[in-house]
């Protein structure tokens, strides 16, 4: 078999066989296919697409390109949750201890942020002492003892995805449904969970900008998970404006803790409740979505979720006192209010531009080598639909890198559209995809 022939077939819109896809994944993972040929094939896939069968073969080949974790030593139904990525998305930090407090074993492997989207691992590292390094035995023991552990993605899981993703990132081939579905599902399937709840983001700050594409991505991932005997649910949620108010690592930790105290922003609380209720149903701990909601609200009200957060942080070497004293988190030297130039209703806050603005301040990395400033970021004071007068504060910027401020501020201001008329309120959840079909809200 020759990779040249595989590229030519896809260029000519032909279907690839299981053997051809396995050959490419295996040889590229081992460094036996050069990046220029892999790039050509990825671009041919991007332009001419893969059908569902090819996508399933690609997912399986990538899953088998590394270690497939065995979590059978963890008791109970392990439920994983994965977000396709967004701005201000601190959901895992709240949901992991919240689900553990409700009785769901959470064994979570998380990633770092790149570009305008943040990553759970970076956010957790804003907690002094917190470590995501764990041996497999420590990870399993933590989940059995505490019901929660979050570790970094190990280099040995879905090896092909790491190489292919890095290449996609620099060849403009990220936002393709088959490539995203196989990338995410290969990692989820290799991570060993019994059930998977996918938070598929839609809108300006998401990879999938339209609802149709977001539903199609969710459908594809649910089909792959179902075919591999994992109960898989896809929830389509809004990422047109940032989630909650805080964007930036330590600022998002504060907002995630506030949510565990029942005081989080409405959109963020609603998303945690929705995803959490589906996770509880998938874990078979409750028999209905409504019972899931009741259990979640009780865990927050009783303080059990916050206590679980402190146990989880302490278990991974972090200082649990951050839950009560936010000044223990990294603090920026400069805290500057950004004022509105206009009077009117906020019609749009482009999530991607806000993510880039926070990244410029130091909250994210443009390249893998960039060093983060864990204290940097933006706290919005207004959201879409709010009324502002000229001179009102739109947001507060936290930063240390003074030379970056003007650029970040310009990008931030360009992200706002302020109009005379109030826009129709937007939905947070657009629908749910299960093996039984699509339900649109
Ligand atoms: N997240 C992933 O893990 N892979 C993608 O391709 C896109 C988002």
* pLDDT for the residue 333: 98
* pLDDT for the residue 174: 87
132 C-alpha vs ligand 1 centroid, how far in Å?
20
For β-strands 344-349 and 79-83, DSSP reports them as unpaired
Query: Ligand 1 site: residues with CB under 6 angstroms?
Result: 84-85, 165, 174, 179-180, 183-184, 207
For the chain, the residue count is: 441
Q: For position 410, which CATH number holds?
A: 3.90.1170.30
Residue 60 lies in a domain: no
- pLDDT tens track for 252-289: 999 999 999 999 999 999 999 999 999 999 999 999 99
Q: How far apart are CA 94 and CA 82, in angstroms?
A: 13
- pLDDT tens track for 289-311: 999 999 999 999 999 999 999 99
* pLDDT for the residue 114: 65
Q: Judge if 196 and 121 occupy the same domain.
A: yes
Looking at ligand 1, which atom is closest to the CA of residue 184? 3
- List Cα–Cα distances, 73 to 108, 144, 186, 217, in angstroms: 15, 8, 21, 32
Percent of the chain with pLDDT over 90: 82
Residue 289 lies in a domain: yes
Q: Judge if 224 and 342 occupy the same domain.
A: no
Given a cut of 70, whether residue 123 has pLDDT beyond it is yes
Whether the CA torsion 224, 214, 358, 116 is positive or negative: it is positive
Q: Judge if 138 and 220 occupy the same domain.
A: yes
For β-strands 393-399 and 148-152, DSSP reports them as unpaired
Q: Which residues are catalytic?
A: 82, 161, 168, 183, 187
Query: Do residues 354 and 242 lie in contact, with contact meaning Cβ atoms separated by under 8 Å?
Result: yes
Query: Do residues 203 and 209 lie in contact, with contact meaning Cβ atoms separated by under 8 Å?
Result: yes
* pLDDT for the residue 205: 86
3-state secondary structure of 13: coil
* pLDDT for the residue 369: 74
For β-strands 429-434 and 79-83, DSSP reports them as unpaired
Closest C-alpha among 250, 256, 253 to residue 400: 250
Given a cut of 90, whether residue 119 has pLDDT beyond it is no
441 C-alpha vs ligand 1 centroid, how far in Å?
25
Q: Judge if 302 and 341 occupy the same domain.
A: no
Average confidence score pLDDT of the chain: 94
Residue 132 lies in a domain: yes
Q: How confident is the model at residue 152 (pLDDT cuts 50, 70, 90)?
A: confident
What is the DSSP secondary-structure string of 258-294?
A: HHHTT-S-HHHHHHHHHHHHHHHHHTTSSSSHHHHHH
Q: 323: which 2 tokens?
A: 């839950």
Whether the CA torsion 411, 83, 430, 248 is positive or negative: it is negative
- pLDDT tens track for 228-255: 999 999 999 999 999 999 999 999 999 9
**From 42, 81, 85, 163, mutation site for ligand 1 pocket: most ligand atoms within 8 A of C-beta:** 85
- The residue behind tokens 């959470």 is 106
Query: Do residues 179 and 167 lie in contact, with contact meaning Cβ atoms separated by under 8 Å?
Result: no
Rounded to an integer, the average pLDDT of 11-39 is: 97
- Of 108-117, 210-219, 402-411, the one with minimum mean pLDDT is 108-117
- Of 26-35, 86-95, 366-375, 388-397, the one with minimum mean pLDDT is 366-375
Q: For position 26, which CATH number holds?
A: 1.20.970.10
Q: How far apart are CA 139 and CA 149, in angstroms?
A: 6
* pLDDT for the residue 409: 97
Rounded to an integer, the average pLDDT of 332-343 is: 97
**From 55, 59, 120, 174, mutation site for ligand 1 pocket: most ligand atoms within 8 A of C-beta:** 174
Given a cut of 90, whether residue 115 has pLDDT beyond it is no
Q: Judge if 24 and 140 occupy the same domain.
A: no
Given a cut of 80, whether residue 366 has pLDDT beyond it is no
Crossing angle of helices 405-414 and 351-361, in 10° steps, is 170
Given a cut of 80, whether residue 320 has pLDDT beyond it is yes
Residue 175 lies in a domain: no
Q: Judge if 125 and 209 occupy the same domain.
A: yes
Please state the domain count of the chain: 3
Crossing angle of helices 52-63 and 211-227, in 10° steps, is 60
Q: Judge if 290 and 414 occupy the same domain.
A: no
Residue nearest to atom 5 of ligand 1 (CA): 180
User: Which position has the higher pLDDT, 64 or 207?
Assistant: 64
Residue 66 lies in a domain: no
Looking at ligand 1, which atom is closest to the CA of residue 179? 6
Three-state SS for 48-101 is HCCCHHHHHHHHHHHHCCCCCCCCCCCCCCCEEEEECCCCCCCHHHHHHHHHHH
Q: Judge if 231 and 379 occupy the same domain.
A: no
* pLDDT for the residue 146: 95
Q: How confident is the model at residue 414 (pLDDT cuts 50, 70, 90)?
A: very high
Residue nearest to atom 3 of ligand 1 (CA): 184
Residue 424 lies in a domain: no
257 C-alpha vs ligand 1 centroid, how far in Å?
26
Q: 117: which 2 tokens?
A: 């989207």
Phi-psi domain of 254 (left: phi exceeds 0; alpha: psi -120 through 50; beta: other):
alpha
Looking at ligand 1, which atom is closest to the CA of residue 168? 6
State which residues form the domain around 138. Answer: 79-154+190-324+431-440
Cβ contacts of residue 346 below 8 Å, gap of 6+?
382, 383, 384, 385, 386, 387, 388, 416, 417, 418
Looking at ligand 1, which atom is closest to the CA of residue 187? 3
User: Which position has the higher pLDDT, 163 or 253?
Assistant: 253
345 C-alpha vs ligand 1 centroid, how far in Å?
34
Given a cut of 70, whether residue 368 has pLDDT beyond it is no
Q: How confident is the model at residue 149 (pLDDT cuts 50, 70, 90)?
A: very high
Q: Judge if 8 and 114 occupy the same domain.
A: no
Residue 183 lies in a domain: no
Q: For position 223, which CATH number holds?
A: 3.40.1030.10
420 C-alpha vs ligand 1 centroid, how far in Å?
38
Residue 104 lies in a domain: yes
* Sheet architecture: strand order including 344-349: 387-388, 344-349, 416-419
Q: Judge if 228 and 356 occupy the same domain.
A: no
Q: Judge if 235 and 196 occupy the same domain.
A: yes
Q: 54: which 2 tokens?
A: 């090819």
Rounded to an integer, the average pLDDT of 326-339 is: 98
Q: Judge if 370 and 241 occupy the same domain.
A: no
């Amino acid at each position: 078999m020759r990779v040249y022939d595989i590229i030519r077939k896809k260029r000519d819109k032909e279907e690839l066989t299981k053997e051809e896809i396995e050959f490419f994944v295996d040889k590229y993972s081992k460094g036996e296919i050069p990046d220029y040929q892999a790039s050509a094939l990825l671009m041919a896939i991007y332009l001419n697409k893969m059908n569902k069968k090819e996508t399933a073969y690609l997912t399986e080949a990538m899953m088998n390109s590394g270690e497939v974790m065995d979590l059978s030593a963890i008791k109970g139904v392990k439920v994983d949750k994965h977000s396709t990525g967004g701005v201000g998305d601190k959901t895992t930090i709240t949901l992991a201890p919240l689900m553990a407090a409700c009785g769901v074993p959470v064994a979570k492997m998380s990633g770092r942020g790149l570009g305008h989207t943040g990553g759970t691992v970076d956010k957790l590292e804003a907690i002094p002492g917190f470590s995501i390094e764990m041996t497999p035995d420590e990870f399993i023991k933590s989940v059995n003892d505490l019901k929660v552990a979050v570790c970094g993605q190990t280099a040995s899981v879905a090896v092909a995805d790491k190489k292919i993703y890095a290449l996609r990132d620099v060849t403009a081939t990220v936002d393709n449904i088959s490539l995203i579905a196989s990338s995410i599902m290969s990692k989820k399937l290799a991570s060993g969970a019994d059930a998977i709840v996918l938070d598929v983001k839609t809108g300006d700050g998401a990879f999938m900008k339209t609802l149709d594409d977001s539903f199609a991505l969710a459908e594809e991932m649910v089909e792959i998970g179902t075919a591999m005997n994992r109960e898989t649910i896809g929830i389509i949620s809004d990422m047109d404006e940032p989630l909650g108010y805080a964007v930036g690592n330590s600022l998002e930790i504060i907002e995630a803790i506030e949510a565990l105290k029942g005081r989080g922003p409405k959109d963020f609380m609603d998303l945690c409740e929705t995803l959490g209720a589906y996770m509880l149903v998938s874990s078979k701990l409750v028999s209905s979505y409504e019972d899931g909601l009741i259990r979640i609200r009780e865990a927050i009200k009783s303080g059990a979720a916050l206590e679980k957060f402190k146990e989880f942080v302490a278990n991974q070497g972090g200082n649990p006192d951050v839950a009560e004293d936010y000044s223990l988190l990294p603090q920026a030297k400069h805290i500057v209010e950004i004022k509105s130039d206009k009077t009117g209703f906020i019609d749009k806050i482009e999530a991607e531009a806000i993510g880039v603005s926070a990244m410029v301040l130091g909250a994210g990395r443009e390249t893998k080598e960039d060093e983060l400033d864990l204290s940097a970021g933006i706290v919005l004071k207004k959201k879409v639909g709010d009324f502002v007068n000229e001179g009102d504060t739109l947001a507060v910027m936290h930063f240390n890198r003074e030379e970056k401020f003007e650029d970040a501020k310009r990008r931030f201001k360009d992200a706002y559209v302020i109009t005379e008329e109030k826009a129709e309120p937007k939905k947070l959840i657009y629908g749910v995809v299960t093996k039984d079909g699509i339900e649109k809200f």
